[in-house]
Amino acid sequence: MIRSLFVVVFAVLHTIFCSIAAIVFGLFNPYSKVVDGIIRLWAKGILKVADVKVVVHGQEKLRKDQPYIFISNHQGAFDILAGVVAIPLTMRFVAKKELFRFPIFAQGMRAVGMIPIDRSNSEQARKSLEEAAKTLQNGVSVLIFPEGTRSLDGKIKPFKKGGFVLALKSGLPIMPMVFTGSLNILRKKSIKIHKGAIHVYFLDEVDVSQYSFERRNELVKNVRQQIVDVYEKVRVE
């Protein structure tokens, strides 16, 4: 428990430092390489102190100059950190609105183009997707967890459609991802942080031009099944 407390204290102080840096440099260009470096420094610092390794599989499938809509399962709080480290592109994530209530951190996230979403409010959720669409227009990838919340037992929940509608409207490819191992690092409703490894898998990109808007439910179903199939093969208990 003492170790967990140390990690939390470091994470708070480190987050404040990185948020201030993000606010300053985000004023010039929220999608610059300097800002990307600050975001990665934030993620790597916390992972290092928590003694959590990120093992990446299939990164070679990513095209260097291609923005993606990354769609993934959501196991734990460390998924975002692992995603920042695993994705070698300029990327911003869609995060629940509760994370934007913390002073300084909230300003830092907004300064670099992170996107808040209120899934309990359909109108606000729609506006968040519009904001994500603007991000994509800047050539920036977006990471979305369509389950909407972390899983308590590791089982993959039903996917919400928002991220898929965004893909269909933008025409950008979906890159399905699988996270496994993060459930054991920090369980939902727990404060104990464990050492370990998070494995991140990049699957095969999905060309959304094969789907019409009317077939969006089929797109959701197919991508989710692809993620579930791989997850069941590689999941870390």
Question: Across the strands, what pairs with 92?
Answer: 142
Helix axes 33-50, 2-26, angle to 10 degrees: 180
pLDDT of residue 237: 65
Return the CATH fold of 2-234.
Glycerol-3-phosphate (1)-acyltransferase (3.40.1130)
193, 183, 177: which is closest to 145 by C-alpha? 177
> Do 81 and 70 touch, CB atoms closer than 8 A?
no
Instruction: Provide block-wise average pLDDT over 10 residues at a time, the chain (237 residues).
Output: 91 97 96 97 98 98 95 93 98 85 91 83 74 85 90 86 91 97 84 94 97 96 98 88
